[in-house]
Structure 1
Amino acid sequence: MPPIISLVIPVFNEGAMVHDNIGQILRAAEGAGYELELIAVDDGSRDNSAAEIERAAARDPRVRPVFFTRNFGKEAAIHAGLAHAKGDAVVVLDCDLQHPPELIPQMVEFWRKGLCVVDAVKSDRGEEALQDGFFANAFYALFSRFAGLDIRNHSDFKLLDREVVDTYLAFPEKHRFFRGLIGWANYPSVQIPFTVAARAGGTSQWSKAKLLRYAIDNLTSFSSVPLKLITYVGAAILALGAVIGFLSLLNWFEGRAIGGFTTVNLLIIVIGGAIMISLGIIGHYLARLYDEIKARPPYLTKPNRKPPQ
């Protein structure tokens, strides 16, 4: 049986363009010279994305739809796509064409040479707002510092060998960071640069709040450094308290009264703020443990059930 290349595209509220873009992605991937399948995972879209995916599947049998019961997030959609993929190699890419599908034949060629992972890395972030580029670089710098993994300018646009896919699916955690886990696994890989293209219609579904939550979740899923920082914060506050206490005793011995409640208020504000921040960090990690212990599935798909006759 000839090798199969699977294409996985997460979809969320992309109804205006997903049908045409699926066709364009398949046409570009045909240059690899292998049999293709495309798994389009609808992540609980609220528009007509599901209907457009079904229309694409009706026109091309290589399209295999997967529909979530609700929005579970992009990481869950990638997970589901990999779980449903049957290919000897799997390419994950966005459906908005910001990941240029013309690179797929080149990625497959590297795979044929024996590489397990082909990473498409952003050489030019395209028309990105200055503040977005700043926050992205800040996240990558923190992630490298905390987790010890350099994934600067990496993307979800990757080709994975079947062995890598099976390993990824065997990981026990429910909440995943695709880029981080593939980088952590450290399979033989190669990087190819690409320029982020303009979106082929529609607007990004990522708000600033969603991106911030996504960044925090990914940082804490790969590093316990924030928990350890609490110790250093406590030590710094203890040192500050010792200095203030020493100065207060010195003034008392010299017979000079400390005017007002400035010192007391300062101590209360600093210590109270540090305690609340520390409790927030601990609470975040406890919430992650709670979610993992519940062991709920990372996504649910709609049943493919026909009504009784």
Structure 2
Amino acid sequence: MDADHKSKGLDRMQKKSVSFIIPCYRSENTLGVVVDEIIDTMKDSGEYTYEIVLVNDGSPDNTWGVINEIAAKHSEIVTGINFAKNFGQHAALMAGLNASKGDYVVCLDDDGQTPAGEVFKLLNALRDGADAVYARYAHKQHNSFRNFGTAMNEWMAEVMLGKPKELFVSSYFGVRRFVVNEMIKYDSSFPYVIGLVLRTTSNVVNVDVNHRKREVGQSGYNLAKLFMLWINGFTAFSIKPLRLATMVGFLLSVAGFLFGIYTIILKFVYPYASNYKGYYALMSALVFIGGMILFMLGMVGEYVGRTYIAQNKNPQYVIRETTRDDKE
């Protein structure tokens, strides 16, 4: 019994390891500051060891050159991964998750808006039993366009992915190793990290952190990229859009049938009434129903297309090189 008790005590004394994952795009002027903040925050921590994984998502600027400089300066803790082209933030996160080794994994942005100095709020939540933890911001320092995109993303996650209404999701989050191990089993061409977390565990909490104003550059998300992110989110992990299309189609069919009966009755009651109003009503109905049919076919086509691409083994990402290549 004493030996067992002593063994458990030693396990508690063992340091936990933390992997920081940063997707990088057009961040040559901000990335160094983010890495320095992580190092300054973690250097006095006797409770954790850590590593930093920087994933260059096909940046057209000198981001990869900066990553190489950082990795050379901090070779013992920093690993750089360079994509062959731009695959998107969620693909970069998946590459980082696959490369990570930590007991806890923390993902944050490359622009400095997600404060690495407050990472212990996330780590404490994981240590206290949460499987996943998301940073929640009282005041977001994004522009109105990005705030709208975030609101739409929240709504989509609630309706399509079953996210609890009170849970706020963001790009600054931490997860336990077993969650990471489950997430990286997903090898489809269209990863969506929030969906992977939510389908793995329901033990997800929020912690409040500050959100900084962007000092350099602008967000890499435009309207087209946000739209594709929403599409990817609700088609990758939910068939609710197809069920919605089925329901709408059924209701339109019932409405069309009832309208047909109404038209027949109207013709008998008012046989000499003008047909012009009926013509306009008919055309409106045809245009509306035709548009809904095309929309539903497009939704079905999106699922079929994704299945086709997945069967062709379209990769989540392609790694051109890493900073570890020169050391092997």
TM-score, scaled to structure 1: 0.89
Cα pair distance change 1:60/1:289, threshold 3 Å: same
| Percent pairwise identity | 27
Do residues 66 (structure 1) and 81 (structure 2) align?
yes
* Aligned-partner Cα distance in 2 for 1:147–1:106: 26
**Structure 1 range deviating more: 100-109 or 253-262:** 253-262
Do residues 46 (structure 1) and 99 (structure 2) align?
no
**Structure 1 range deviating more: 260-269 or 154-163:** 260-269
Q: Deviations over 1:96-148 (max 9, x none)?
A: 1111101223333344444433322233223431x543443243234312322
Structure 2, gaps ≥5 residues long:
1-13
8 Å contact 1:122–1:193 — kept in the other structure? yes
Give 2:8's aligned residue: none
* Aligned-partner Cα distance in 2 for 1:235–1:35: 57
* Aligned-partner Cα distance in 2 for 1:179–1:168: 10
Give how far 1:32 is off.
3.3
Give 1:186's aligned residue: 201
Structure 1 residue runs of 4 or more that deviate by more than 4 Å after TM superposition: none
Structure 1, gaps ≥5 residues long:
none
Give how far 1:232 is off.
2.2
Give 1:87's aligned residue: 102
- Code of the aligned partner of 1:139: N
Q: Deviations over 1:265-294 (max 9, x none)?
A: 233212211211111111111122222222
8 Å contact 1:11–1:41 — kept in the other structure? yes
Cα pair distance change 1:303/1:136, threshold 3 Å: closer
**Structure 1 range deviating more: 8-17 or 283-292:** 283-292
Give how far 1:65 is off.
0.6
* Aligned-partner Cα distance in 2 for 1:164–1:28: 25
* Aligned-partner Cα distance in 2 for 1:230–1:69: 38
* Aligned-partner Cα distance in 2 for 1:292–1:84: 22
Give how far 1:227 is off.
0.8
Give how far 1:224 is off.
1.3
RMSD of Structure 2 on Structure 1 (CA): 2.3
Matched residue pairs, number?
305
- Code of the aligned partner of 2:150: A
Partner-residue secondary structure (3-state), 1:302: strand
Do residues 235 (structure 1) and 256 (structure 2) align?
no
Cα pair distance change 1:31/1:91, threshold 3 Å: farther
8 Å contact 1:38–1:64 — kept in the other structure? yes
Cα pair distance change 1:139/1:7, threshold 3 Å: closer
* Aligned-partner Cα distance in 2 for 1:251–1:143: 46
* Aligned-partner Cα distance in 2 for 1:258–1:246: 18
Q: Alignment partner for residue 210 of structure 1, among 201, 225, 236?
A: 225
